[in-house]
Amino acid sequence: MKILAIALLNLRRLFRDRSNIFFVIVVPFLMIFMMGLLFGGGQQHRLGVVGADSGPLAQRLSAALGTRDDIEVVPMGSEEDLRTAVERGQAQAGVMIPGSYDADLRAGRQVQVRYLVRPDDWQALDVGSWVRSTVPKEAALLYAAGFAAAEDVTSFDDGLRRAEAARLPGVEVKVSTIGRTVFPEGFSQFNLAAPPLLLLYTFLTSMTAAIGLVETRLSGVSARMYSTPTTARAIVLGETAGRLVIALFQGLLIMLGSALLFQVEWGDPLGAAALLTVFSAIGAGAAMLLASFFRTVGPVVSLSAILGLGLAAVGGTMVPLESFSGVMWTVAHFTPHAWGYEGFVTLVRHGGGIGDILPQLGVLTAFALVLLPLGVWAQRRAITR
């Protein structure tokens, strides 16, 4: 009963501070929304094009590039303008149609269309695929028109018109996926954004809750609690349960809220609950440990932010773990975040069940079994010394 009273008081105090309400409730959903937008889905890509006005055939190509709903073709005045726009991210990518495009094609000469892209813009990969498929399709029609003109069957323009109207069976590539795709077809961008942010915020909120623990000790409240007929064990377990309740609350809020607001599907409820519970226990243990090390609030404030955000970054919850190099991938797996991330990937993206995430749950449980008892022991020592 006393353990519960201490635990619930922690949760109550969390919401006494209005800034906490903002950071715990509002910010995670804003971040999920923004990261969701960043990961794609509904976002308009800008494709800069230079030379579209050099002739009717150049105009045809430009128009063909703009037939996809999520790609906006933006005419650019010069090659320099296009380069600047791509470099500054004002355009996802750029296409440079040479000024001699029409003349060269009509004369049967080889034409080269250049594609500009930033090396680190992974959204431009999708635009690149579109450009690489659209240009050859247009080239095939032009080749047919050129061939008809060269054989004196008809004029180039008439040949182009007829080739366009022709419905001939062609060769298509049928793709069969084996193994797991990184992002399954139809996968919502919010499904991609929410799980790593759940891990980030659950851990970060646990870490910042360590500050309250130090304040309680420094203000003499912990000692006063100990002067009542309450054992040190009950006080420490109450404080631990308090941290656990806070972490679970944060995690559950993100799970339920994102499901409601962004239709995020968390997969097998049992698996998701198990991951959240074990990860919250890790956060609680880490918070208890951190709070017991220091006798002033300052270092705990700094370290809680450094650990909360640093481990999240290293663990792949800010930049997708899939994009990590070999060494960084290995380093990431020294954090609980990477294991939590992989667990949620299995549940959310691949429809796995609790049985499929047993390795991740096992490692996370090991983290919890080390951190939680260590945190409890250190906290008890801090209160009774």
Partner 1 sequence: MPLLEVTGLRKSYGEHIAVDDVSFAIGVAETYGLLGPNGAGKTTSISMIVGILDRDAGEVVIAGQPHDVTSVKTKELIGYVPQEIALYRDLSARENLRFFARLYGLGGRALKTRIEEILEVVGLSDRADERVEGFSGGMARRLNIGVGLMNRPKLLVLDEPTAGVDPQSRNAILESVERLADEGVAVLYTTHYMEEAERLCDRVGIIDQGRLRVEGTRRELVGLVGETDRVTLQADGDLARAVRDLAELSQLKQVSSGEGQIEVLVSDARALLPLILETVAGSGVQVRTVQVHEPDLESVFLHLTGKALRD
Q: Which of residues 11, 13, 81, 161 is near partner 1 by CB under 8 A?
A: 13
Q: What are 200's two structure tokens?
A: 């980030």
Q: What are 54's two structure tokens?
A: 């050099």
Give the nearest distance from C-beta 234 to partner 1 in angstroms.
Answer: 9
- Please list, in sequence order, all residues whose beta carbon lies within 8 angstroms of the beta carbon of residue 60, skipping any fewer than 6 positions away: 138
Residue 2 binds partner 1 (CB under 8 A): yes
First to last CA, the chain: 25
Residue 243 to residues 12, 207, 358, 365, 381: CA-CA distances in angstroms?
12, 9, 25, 17, 18
Q: Output the CA torsion 238→244→246→250 (10° steps).
A: -170
Residue placing its CB nearer to partner 1 in the complex, 1 or 175:
1
Q: Find the part of the chain contacting partner 1 (CB under 8 A) among 161-169, 227-235, 246-254, 359-367.
A: 227-235
Residue 381 binds partner 1 (CB under 8 A): no
Give the nearest distance from C-beta 384 to partner 1 in angstroms.
Answer: 7
Strands (E), the chain: 45-50, 71-76, 93-96, 114-117
Residue 12 binds partner 1 (CB under 8 A): yes
Q: Which of residues 78, 129, 155, 231 is near partner 1 by CB under 8 A?
A: 231
CB 279 within 8 A of CB 365: no
CB-hemisphere CA count at 13 Å for 23?
Answer: 16
Give the nearest distance from C-beta 297 to partner 1 in angstroms.
Answer: 13
Residue 232 binds partner 1 (CB under 8 A): yes
Pairing mode, if any, of strands 93-96 and 45-50?
Answer: parallel
- Spatial separation of the C-alpha atoms in residues 236 and 6, rounded to whole Å: 9
Residue placing its CB nearer to partner 1 in the complex, 114 or 295:
295
Q: Output the CA torsion 152→153→157→158 (10° steps).
A: 160
Give the nearest distance from C-beta 292 to partner 1 in angstroms.
Answer: 17
What DSSP letter does each residue of 121-161 carry, written as one string?
A: -THHHHHHHHHHHHHHHHHHHHHHHHHHHHTTSS-HHHHHH
Give the nearest distance from C-beta 43 to partner 1 in angstroms.
Answer: 42
Number of residues that bind partner 1 (CB under 8 A): 23
Q: Find the part of the chain contacting partner 1 (CB under 8 A) among 36-44, 90-98, 222-230, 308-316.
A: 222-230
Give the nearest distance from C-beta 296 to partner 1 in angstroms.
Answer: 15
Q: Which of residues 75, 89, 136, 220 is near partner 1 by CB under 8 A?
A: 220
Site string for partner 1, 272-301 (x = CB under 8 A): ------------------------------
Residue 17 binds partner 1 (CB under 8 A): yes
Give the nearest distance from C-beta 225 to partner 1 in angstroms.
Answer: 6
**Residue among 205, 301, 321 nearest 254 (CA):** 205
Residue 21 binds partner 1 (CB under 8 A): no
Q: Find the part of the chain contacting partner 1 (CB under 8 A) among 105-113, 214-222, 245-253, 288-296.
A: 214-222
- Spatial separation of the C-alpha atoms in residues 77 and 61, rounded to whole Å: 17
Residue placing its CB nearer to partner 1 in the complex, 111 or 210:
210
Residue 68 binds partner 1 (CB under 8 A): no
| 3 state SS of 375 | helix
Give the nearest distance from C-beta 348 to partner 1 in angstroms.
Answer: 37
Q: Which of residues 109, 114, 132, 224 is near partner 1 by CB under 8 A?
A: 224
Residue 221 binds partner 1 (CB under 8 A): yes
Give the nearest distance from C-beta 231 to partner 1 in angstroms.
Answer: 6
Residue placing its CB nearer to partner 1 in the complex, 235 or 244:
235
Sign, CA torsion 357/360/363/367: negative
Burial of 329 (0-12, 13-18, 19+ CB in 10 A): middle
Residue 22 binds partner 1 (CB under 8 A): no
351 torsion bin: left (phi>0), alpha (psi -120 to 50), beta (else):
left
Residue 137 binds partner 1 (CB under 8 A): no
Q: Which residues form the interface with partner 1 (CB under 8 A)?
A: 1-2, 5, 9, 12-13, 16-17, 216, 219-221, 223-232, 384
